[in-house]
Amino acid sequence: MVIDQQKCLLMARTCACFSLRRASRLVSQAFDRALKPSGLRITQFSVLSAYHMSGDLGISKMSRGLGMDRTTLSRNLKLLAQKGLITLEPAEDRREQRVKVTQKGAQAFEQAVPYWEQAQQKVISTLGDEKWAAMQQDLRALAAGAK
Amino acid sequence: MVIDQQKCLLMARTCACFSLRRASRLVSQAFDRALKPSGLRITQFSVLSAYHMSGDLGISKMSRGLGMDRTTLSRNLKLLAQKGLITLEPAEDRREQRVKVTQKGAQAFEQAVPYWEQAQQKVISTLGDEKWAAMQQDLRALAAGAK
DNA sequence: GGATGATATGAGTATATACACTCAATTTAG
DNA sequence: CTAAATTGAGTGTATATACTCATATCATCC
C-alpha cells in the first residue's frame, strides 16, 4: 500500500484544509503587519469589533456566532481585558459573563479602523470585488458544511 | 470620529481575514476530527506529506514552499521527530537540517490517507468540484498577493 | 421543591503560529 | 584572500486554537 509521488503531490496541492490554512496564515500576517501601529492583532480587532457591534452576548453565544471555539474566545477576551480594552462582568444569569467595551477599547478600535481598511483593500484588490464576493459566500458555505 | 453600528456590522461580515480564519478554523476542526483515528493532526499530515514528496529541502526552503513561517515549520518538525515519524540530520551545507521520513512516519502517513480522503471529499462536496477549483485558485492568488 | 438535564464557564494541556533576536556557516565583493 | 553580506537555523516570548474535564447555575418536570 505505497502512496506514490504523484499522489502525494496531488494531495499537497489539493488539500482543502492546507489551502485554507495557508491563505489564512499569509493573509493574517498581512493584516497584522498593517494593524501594527494600532497595537491590535487582527484577532483582537475582530473580537473588539464584534462586541462593539453587539456587546450583549455571553461568551458561548458569541463564540457560536463567530465560529470560534468557546475557550478560544474566552482566552482572547482575557487578553483584551488585561489591556483594559474590555471589562468582564457577571450577568443577571450568573453563569454568564457580560463583555463591555471600555472607552479605551472603543478608541483603540476606532484608531485601528483605517489600518484595517488599508489591509482589506489591498487583499481584496488581488481578486477584485466580484471574485471576492463569490469567495466570501463560498467560505461561508465551507464553514457551515464543516460542522 | 465615531464608527457606527452599520459600519461595524459591515466590517465583521466582510473582513477578508476574519472570513478566512473562520473557514480555516472550522475546516481544520473537521479534518482533525476525521484524522483522529490516525493519531495525526492535519498540520502534521500536511508536513509529513510534503517531506514524503520531496524530502531533500532544508527547513527554510520548505517553509517558503509551504507558505509557513520557518520557525513554525521548525517546531512542527520537532513534534514529528519526537513521535519518531521523521529524523533531523545535518546536511553537507552544515547550516541546513535534512529531514528524513522514517519507516514509522511513512506508515503513519499512509494509514492516515483514507481518513484525509474522506474529510477532503466531504468538505469539497459542499461546494462541488467546479467552485472548489475556482476557490483553490483564488486562495493561491490571495496568498501570493498578501506578501 | 428537589432531582435531572441543559447551559455557561474556567482550567489543564497540547499544538500552531510568528516576530525579534542571536549565532553559525556560506557566499560574495573588493 | 579577507571583510561584508547573505543564508539557515534555534530560542525566547506572545498569541491563537481547541479538546477534555470539572464546576456552577438555570430550567423543567414530576
Q: How many CB atoms lie within 10 A of CB A75?
A: 10
What are the grid coordinates assigned to B25, written together?
A: 478554523
Are A27 and B16 in contact by the 8 Å Cβ rule? The answer is: yes
Looking at the structure, give the CATH architecture of the domain made up of residues A24-146: Orthogonal Bundle (1.10)
pLDDT value, residue A55: 67
Looking at the structure, give the CATH architecture of the domain made up of residues B39-146: Orthogonal Bundle (1.10)
Closest residue to D14 measured CA to C1′: A79
What span, in angstroms and rounded, lies between the C-alpha atoms of A64 and A59?
A: 9
Residue % of chain B over a pLDDT of 90? 81
Distance from CA of A87 to the nearest CA of B (A): 20
Write out the H or E segment, with its range, that includes residue B98. Answer: strand B97-101
Q: Select the residue of A11, A46, A127 nearest B142 (Cβ to Cβ).
A: A127
What span, in angstroms and rounded, lies between the C-alpha atoms of B117 and B68?
A: 23
Q: What is the mean pLDDT of residues B98-118?
A: 95
What span, in angstroms and rounded, lies between the C-alpha atoms of A83 and A62?
A: 20
DSSP A66-98: HT--HHHHHHHHHHHHHTTSEEEEE-SSTT-EE
Are B68 and B51 in contact by the 8 Å Cβ rule? The answer is: no
Mind listing the pLDDT tens digit for each residue in A33-73?
999 999 999 999 999 999 988 767 889 999 998 999 999 99
Mind listing the pLDDT tens digit for each residue in A100-123?
999 999 999 999 999 999 999 999
Q: Say whether the CB atom of A69 is under 7 angstroms from strand D.
A: yes
Give the β-pairing of A97-101 and A86-90.
antiparallel
Look at the alpha carbons of A70, A76, A78, A84 in this order and tell me if their dihedral is positive or negative.
negative
- By CB atoms closer than 10 A (0-12, 13-18, 19+), residue A146 is buried
Which positions ≥6 away from B90 have C-beta within 8 Å? B96, B97, B98
Per the prediction, chain B carries an average pLDDT of 90
Task: Indicate if the pLDDT at residue A7 is higher than 60.
Answer: no
- Strand runs labelled E in chain A: 86-90, 97-101
Binding-face residues of B in 54-83 toward A, CB within 8 A = 66-69
pLDDT value, residue B103: 95
pLDDT value, residue A54: 75
pLDDT band at A13 (very low <50, low <70, confident <90, very high): confident
Residue spans of the domains in chain A: they are 24-146
Q: What share of chain B is helix, strand, coil (3-state, %, to 5)?
A: 75, 5, 20
List the single best residue of A1, A3, A20 to mutate versus B (max B Cβ within 10 A). A20
Mind listing the pLDDT tens digit for each residue in B7-64?
545 666 789 999 999 999 999 999 999 999 999 999 999 999 999 887 678 999 999 9
Instruction: Search chain A and give the residue with CA nearest B47.
Output: A12
User: String of b and e for A85-107 (b: at least 16 CB within 10 Å)?
Assistant: bbeeeeeeeeeebbbebeeebbe
- Residue B2 to residue A109, Cβ atoms within 8 A: no
Q: What share of chain A is helix, strand, coil (3-state, %, to 5)?
A: 75, 5, 20
B24 CA: nearest nucleotide by C1': D17
B29 CA: nearest nucleotide by C1': D18
